[in-house]
Amino acid sequence: MPREKIESPVGPYHVKVGWASDRDVQIGVEVDGERSIFWTLFSGRDLKASLAEKIQSLPVQDVSAQDYAENVLNILDEVSLMGYQGLWSTLDRSSCNRLIRLIRRARDAAFGADA
């Protein structure tokens, strides 16, 4: 299945499009790097701080709440979502056409219509 990647100018996420002749089209958002998309989405400072606050009352010895929160994220990443680098959707022809129209409308609204 051929795939094309559109690099994001900001952030770790990239759009990818894949297709197979006479079959389907897939569009996805993936993250580059060693971590899964789960880690990238949920390891932000606010979530870690919130998680650390919630587990601070737990009986944890010799481990800071912040370290404990990071350990929980690592465990979840390894156990439940290891290897998932992105989220994908499969589109049929009419969905592809609708997406193309929507992206054109969004592009024109953001950057102006092509001459």
**Structure confidence by residue, pLDDT tens digits, 102-113:** 999 999 999 999
In order of 24, 43, 55, 76, 96, the CA distances from 104 in angstroms are 21, 33, 46, 38, 12
Domain regions of the chain by residue span: 1-33+85-115, 36-83
Is the confidence at residue 25, as pLDDT, over 90?
yes
CB within 8 A of 45, min separation 6: which ones? none
Is the confidence at residue 17, as pLDDT, over 90?
yes
Which two three-digit tokens encode residue 81? 């979502």
Look up tokens 């129209």; give the residue. 101
Average pLDDT over residues 79-90: 72
Say how far apart CA 71 and CA 80 lie, in whole Å.
Answer: 14
For 83, other C-beta atoms within 10 Å of its C-beta total 8
CA torsion sign for 90, 92, 95, 100 is: positive
- pLDDT tens digit sequence for 26-68: 999 888 776 677 667 666 656 666 666 666 666 666 777 777 7
